[in-house]
Amino acid sequence: MTGININKNSVILAVLVVLLLLLPMAVTKPYYLHVIIICLLWAYLASSWNIIGGFAGQLSLGHGIYTAIGAYITVILFNTFGLSPWLGLFVGGGAAILLSLVIGYPTFGLRGAYYALATVAISEGIVVLLNNTGSIGRFTVGGAEGLIVKMVGNSAVAFQFNSKIPYYYIVLIMVFLIIFVAKWLKESKLGYYLVALREDEDAAAAMGINVRRNKLIAGAISAFFTALGGVFYAMLIRYLEPNAIAGAGMSTQMVFLAIVGGSGTVLGPVIGGILLALISEIIRFYLGGQLMGLHLFIYGMIVLLMIIYQPRGIIELFEKIGQRFSRKHNDEGGRSGAEDPSGA
């Protein structure tokens, strides 16, 4: 990369960051800001899934259990002991890591399809458990009625704000964090191990890579960040309902967004998450009240067509545009065609 190219990219990046930071000033209606927050949360969750699903190629279809375990443990600790969610999220995240290891140990020994099916069954089982557990000892879990976060008013320590703006900045930081983590991971030794075992497990093992261990590490990282997303969701919505936070909808949505955006890339899931969640919200807004099932039907069709016509993800479209842009730039001088094709 030449100096010109870096400058151009960093200028674009800086403009983007400033625009994002100033966004709440332009968007004054809480509903619109809420939609933006939800889109960013989905971008974050899709990126968290991408660590195990995209980089390591292990198709987890039950990531809802990690959002659930993070959210439930944080909220239960807060409701029972008044423990600040900022501390509770580490307990929730730690529990998610533990859970991912327990599930991953037997299943990662097997190839992709098995892992996918196992994650579906395990997550469905956990949804049933959550729906039927009213309380464990003195801890209220809520069962099918759901669990309400105890309200304490506007309090930063309790992760409760009357305005949507703090939530916006928190989720924005989370998205930047996960992009940073993904970028770091992709360029780290672990990232290369993961790509190797994704492409050919036997060859990777023959090269001396401990396949199961690296899958477990990637799974644990992914579970931890997914759990943080669950905590944010809990504090934003302030109500946990087992089917919403742990159900198949949550789990498959993450996968949809990541794959439609471009799995295995750093920015693909972010782009996919924002765009698709936005489309979904718009369709729901305009068509939700009409014919039953119509908005989900259209949503399903959009995903279907995107997978057929853009199987490598939306990120590929962005890259093509980017390449054309830099090629034009090329004629004016400066070798800038060597952009990272993975979209990092």
Partner 1 sequence: MGFLSVVANGLSMGAIYGLIALGLTLIFGIMKIINFAQGALLMLSMMISYWLWAATGLSPYILIIIVAPIMFVVGYLCERVLIKPVLDEQKDVREPVSVLLLTAALAIVLENLALMVFGADYVMAKTSFSDVTIAFGPVMVSAARFYGLMIALVVAGLFYLFLMYSQTGRNLRATGQDRNAASLMGIDITKTYAIAFGIGTALLAVAAVALIPFYYVHPSVGQVFMTKAFIVVVLGGLGSVPGALLGGIIIGLIESIAAQYMTATLTVILVYAVFLLVLFVKPSGIFGSPYEW
* Residues numbered 212-251 forming contacts with partner 1, rule: CB under 8 A: 248
User: Does position 122 bind partner 1 by CB under 8 A?
Assistant: yes
Q: Provide the minimum distance between the beta carbon of 188 and partner 1 in the complex, in angstroms, as a whole number.
A: 23
Which range, of 27-35, 41-49, 87-95, 101-109, touches partner 1 by CB under 8 A? 101-109
Determine the size of the site formed for partner 1 (CB under 8 A): 44
d(CA 41, CA 237): 12
d(CA 13, CA 121): 42
Q: Provide the minimum distance between the beta carbon of 125 and partner 1 in the complex, in angstroms, as a whole number.
A: 3
Q: CB neighbours of 52 closer than 8 A, spacing ≥ 6?
A: 58, 60, 215, 218, 219, 221, 222, 223
Q: Provide the minimum distance between the beta carbon of 55 and partner 1 in the complex, in angstroms, as a whole number.
A: 13
Q: Provide the minimum distance between the beta carbon of 200 and partner 1 in the complex, in angstroms, as a whole number.
A: 8
Q: Provide the minimum distance between the beta carbon of 127 and partner 1 in the complex, in angstroms, as a whole number.
A: 10
Cβ-based nearer residue to partner 1, 129 or 338: 129
User: Does position 299 bind partner 1 by CB under 8 A?
Assistant: yes
- Count of beta carbons in the 10 Å neighbourhood of residue 143: 15
Which range, of 165-173, 189-197, 223-231, 256-264, touches partner 1 by CB under 8 A? 256-264
User: Does position 12 bind partner 1 by CB under 8 A?
Assistant: no
Q: Provide the minimum distance between the beta carbon of 60 and partner 1 in the complex, in angstroms, as a whole number.
A: 11
User: Does position 26 bind partner 1 by CB under 8 A?
Assistant: no
Q: Which of 106, 134, 289, 337 binds partner 1 (CB under 8 A)?
A: 106
Q: Which of 1, 157, 301, 321 binds partner 1 (CB under 8 A)?
A: 301
Q: CB neighbours of 78 closer than 8 A, spacing ≥ 6?
A: 84, 85, 88, 149, 150, 158
Q: Quick one: tokens of 300?
A: 């399903």
Cβ-based nearer residue to partner 1, 4 or 116: 116
The candidate with the shortest Cα–Cα distance to 180, out of 8, 15, 344, is 344
Q: Provide the minimum distance between the beta carbon of 132 and partner 1 in the complex, in angstroms, as a whole number.
A: 5
Q: Which of 52, 259, 270, 275 binds partner 1 (CB under 8 A)?
A: 259
Which range, of 34-42, 67-75, 105-113, 325-333, touches partner 1 by CB under 8 A? 105-113
User: Does position 112 bind partner 1 by CB under 8 A?
Assistant: yes
User: Does position 326 bind partner 1 by CB under 8 A?
Assistant: no
Cβ-based nearer residue to partner 1, 57 or 191: 57
User: Does position 33 bind partner 1 by CB under 8 A?
Assistant: no
d(CA 204, CA 180): 26
**Region for residue 259 given its phi and psi (left: phi exceeds 0; alpha: psi -120 to 50; beta: otherwise):** alpha
User: Does position 56 bind partner 1 by CB under 8 A?
Assistant: no
* Residues numbered 67-96 forming contacts with partner 1, rule: CB under 8 A: none
Residues that bind partner 1 (CB under 8 A): 57, 59, 106-107, 109-114, 116-118, 120-122, 124-125, 128-129, 131-132, 200, 248, 252, 255-256, 259, 263, 291-294, 296-297, 299-301, 303-304, 307-308, 311-312
